[in-house]
Chain A
Amino acid sequence: MKETVTLFKREFMGYFRSPVAYVFLAVFLVGAMGLPWFLGGFFESNDASLRPFFLFLPWIFLFLVPAVGMRLWSEEKRSGTWELLFTLPIGIWQAVAGKFLAGWAFVSLAIILTLTMPITIAYLGSPDWGPVFSGYVGSILMAGAFLGICSAVSALTRNQVISFVVSLIICLALVLLGWSAFNELMLALNLPVWLVDALANFSFVTHFEGMVAGLIRLRDVVFFASIIAFSLAITVLILER
């Protein structure tokens, strides 16, 4: 446990040792707050809600979470430092958890920095704080699930580019499964409704939408938590060889 905390600290601080972290934060903030504004007509909708912002988030995560997650294990493998790490008295589970939590904390920090937006809205109008709160909880959970998948993929390869692309493809699939246009396409292809529904149930978006609407449902939380637990277990299995 103590080792996990030590590793968490090293990893989390590690993000700020390189300028990449600041570039990431800047891109994330501009993207997450700017895109809905440009494309979604954020300020044209008169309801002072963050709905457009949240609905764009999965697409932003799609690129930016793999950018954080690609280096989790690939970099350790490439530079050989995992040899150092795993000859220290730390269990593989603890190491996987420490690195994952540090990455998650970093992405969460980025998400929390966007709180400037509802605060601005609060200044201009009066936002509905319930959905704002649940939306942020959902965003952080969803980011965790994305990052878990990136962790497992990055444990497979020492190449960060491969790690990024494969993570992105898997995450894209998990987002698309719940996208209405995609579901309609599947139905048009004469896939049975139950299959389309089942697949949509695996989508991040399906489980995220409830939270954006203001509902924190247990099954959605369990869904994201199980994705995280499952992908970390896979990471451990891969690293154990």
Chain B
Amino acid sequence: MINVRNLVKDYGPIRAVDDVTFDVRKGDILGFLGPNGAGKSTTMKMITGFLPPTSGRTEIAGIDVAERPREAKRHIGYLPESGPLYPEMTVIEFLRFIAEMRGLSGAKAAAALDRAIELCHLRAVRHQPIETLSKGFRQRVGMAQAVMHDPPCLILDEPTDGLDPNQKQEVRRLIASMAKEKAIILSTHILEEVEAMCNRVIIIAAGRILVNETPADLLRRHPNYGAVELELAHGDTGNLRNTVKDLDGVASVESLNGKLLIRPKNQTDLKSLLWNRALAEKWPMKSLEPANLRLEDVFRNLTQKDGESIEERTPPAAREKGQTAA
């Protein structure tokens, strides 16, 4: 549905987006991640046809955005970053304007307006000037504007930015409810959001795509992927440490807050291995749990600039996986 090919954007000497290529199909929710200034918004602006790329091209539903911009734009709903709106208009005036600009009129416009207001829970504030709305409500007006014409492609730049936890949840639900019928790209700094709703993740840094894979695959890059934490009843793991270290299938063992953090070799199923040993050798085991994997760690490892190459900083287990995934 959305095909992005070799997009490049130069701002003077700065290359904000550097050779970005990816596809989004119907039913996909693509999470666009990256540190501040990575080029997420710039990429999205080029996809929507707002910003002409320095080179490269985008197709929306088979329509080249640069060649037939108006036709392509009919297929896109776009929520710009920080939701710019016309502040002096009331919500309903603004949405009516958008509907009319989208070529909707009469009964169709009324139905679309009603649907958008319903979806984004704006009924109570519809006669209020936009400038008097709270940030969360403004964000919802932005969403309503984006989904007004029920577009097959949605481009949402930080849709949950500035919302309270309830509203965040609400917007996520809204996006997820539309996912089946649409191709959606959303950028965010909230990694749980990606885990919760996206089926693909692109991490971009300094304008370049670092990874493009499923959230599950991304998690495999975690240094502790497949690792377990073992805790003994008496808390003293000193003796056990060496025993475990020599087990076949264990790559490394670390002591961590009185627990042992055990990393696997060759994707061994550590949990069953250790359970069997513990039963056979009667270890006074208190708990055996998978290590806590946070996407943030993966993100940090991938994007933190400290002069090392990304490959070098990726732990061995993840590197294997990364190569097969790429």
Residues of A within 8 A of B (CB): 2-3, 6-7, 10, 14, 17-18, 79-81, 83-84, 86-91, 240-241
In the bound complex, do residue A87 and residue B101 qualify as a contact, i.e. CB atoms below 8 Å apart? no
Nearest neighbor of B74 in chain A, beta-carbon distance: A89
In the bound complex, do residue B97 and residue A89 qualify as a contact, i.e. CB atoms below 8 Å apart? no
**Minimum distance in angstroms from B234 CB to a CB of chain A:** 62
In the bound complex, do residue A83 and residue B84 qualify as a contact, i.e. CB atoms below 8 Å apart? yes
In the bound complex, do residue A80 and residue B84 qualify as a contact, i.e. CB atoms below 8 Å apart? yes
Nearest neighbor of B70 in chain A, beta-carbon distance: A89
Having A84-B78, A87-B73, A89-B73, one finds 6 other A-B pairs with CB under 8 Å, namely A10-B89, A17-B88, A83-B50, A87-B80, A88-B102, A90-B70
In the bound complex, do residue B84 and residue A84 qualify as a contact, i.e. CB atoms below 8 Å apart? yes
In the bound complex, do residue B101 and residue A81 qualify as a contact, i.e. CB atoms below 8 Å apart? no
**Minimum distance in angstroms from A5 CB to a CB of chain B:** 9
Chain A residues whose C-beta falls within 8 Å of the C-beta of B103 in the assembled complex? 2, 89
Q: A2-B103, A3-B101 are in contact. Are A87 and B49 (CB under 8 A)?
A: yes
Chain A residues whose C-beta falls within 8 Å of the C-beta of B100 in the assembled complex? 6
In the bound complex, do residue B85 and residue A86 qualify as a contact, i.e. CB atoms below 8 Å apart? no
Which 7 pairs, one residue from A and one from B, show the smallest C-beta to C-beta distance? A80-B84, A17-B88, A89-B73, A89-B70, A6-B100, A87-B78, A81-B84
Chain B residues whose C-beta falls within 8 Å of the C-beta of A86 in the assembled complex? 49-50
In the bound complex, do residue A84 and residue B145 qualify as a contact, i.e. CB atoms below 8 Å apart? yes
Contact with A6, one of B74, B88, B101 (Cβ below 8 angstroms): B101
Complexed CA–CA distance, A17 and B84 (Å): 18
In the bound complex, do residue B80 and residue A84 qualify as a contact, i.e. CB atoms below 8 Å apart? yes
Chain B residues whose C-beta falls within 8 Å of the C-beta of A79 in the assembled complex? 84, 87
Nearest neighbor of B101 in chain A, beta-carbon distance: A88
Name 13 A/B residue pairs within 8 A (Cβ), A-sorted.
A2-B103, A6-B97, A6-B101, A7-B101, A10-B86, A10-B89, A79-B84, A81-B85, A83-B50, A87-B76, A88-B102, A89-B73, A240-B52
In the bound complex, do residue B73 and residue A88 qualify as a contact, i.e. CB atoms below 8 Å apart? yes
B251 proximal to A (CB < 8 A): no
**Minimum distance in angstroms from B154 CB to a CB of chain A:** 12
**Minimum distance in angstroms from B254 CB to a CB of chain A:** 49
B45 proximal to A (CB < 8 A): yes
Chain A residues whose C-beta falls within 8 Å of the C-beta of B82 in the assembled complex? 80
Contact with B98, one of A2, A17, A88 (Cβ below 8 angstroms): A88
Contact with B97, one of A10, A18, A241 (Cβ below 8 angstroms): A10
Contact with B101, one of A14, A18, A89 (Cβ below 8 angstroms): A89
Chain A residues whose C-beta falls within 8 Å of the C-beta of B69 in the assembled complex? 91
Complexed CA–CA distance, A17 and B88 (Å): 7
In the bound complex, do residue A89 and residue B102 qualify as a contact, i.e. CB atoms below 8 Å apart? yes
B212 proximal to A (CB < 8 A): no
B48 proximal to A (CB < 8 A): yes
Chain B residues whose C-beta falls within 8 Å of the C-beta of A10 in the assembled complex? 86, 89, 97
In the bound complex, do residue B102 and residue A14 qualify as a contact, i.e. CB atoms below 8 Å apart? no
In the bound complex, do residue A83 and residue B45 qualify as a contact, i.e. CB atoms below 8 Å apart? yes
Chain B residues whose C-beta falls within 8 Å of the C-beta of A87 in the assembled complex? 48-50, 73, 76, 78, 80
Complexed CA–CA distance, A86 and B98 (Å): 12
Complexed CA–CA distance, A14 and B90 (Å): 11
**Minimum distance in angstroms from A87 CB to a CB of chain B:** 5
Complexed CA–CA distance, A86 and B82 (Å): 16
Complexed CA–CA distance, A89 and B73 (Å): 5
The winner among A7, A14, A79, A88 for most chain B CB atoms within 10 A is A88
In the bound complex, do residue B88 and residue A18 qualify as a contact, i.e. CB atoms below 8 Å apart? yes
Q: A3-B101, A89-B102, A90-B70 are in contact. Are A81 and B86 (CB under 8 A)?
A: yes
**Minimum distance in angstroms from B14 CB to a CB of chain A:** 16
Complexed CA–CA distance, A88 and B84 (Å): 13
Nearest neighbor of A75 in chain B, beta-carbon distance: B86
Chain A residues whose C-beta falls within 8 Å of the C-beta of B49 in the assembled complex? 86-87
Complexed CA–CA distance, A222 and B82 (Å): 44
**Minimum distance in angstroms from B179 CB to a CB of chain A:** 21
Complexed CA–CA distance, A86 and B239 (Å): 68
Nearest neighbor of A83 in chain B, beta-carbon distance: B80
Complexed CA–CA distance, A80 and B45 (Å): 12
Chain A residues whose C-beta falls within 8 Å of the C-beta of B71 in the assembled complex? 89
Complexed CA–CA distance, A3 and B98 (Å): 10
Q: Which of B54-109 contact A (CB under 8 A)?
A: 69-71, 73-74, 76, 78, 80, 82, 84-89, 97-98, 100-103
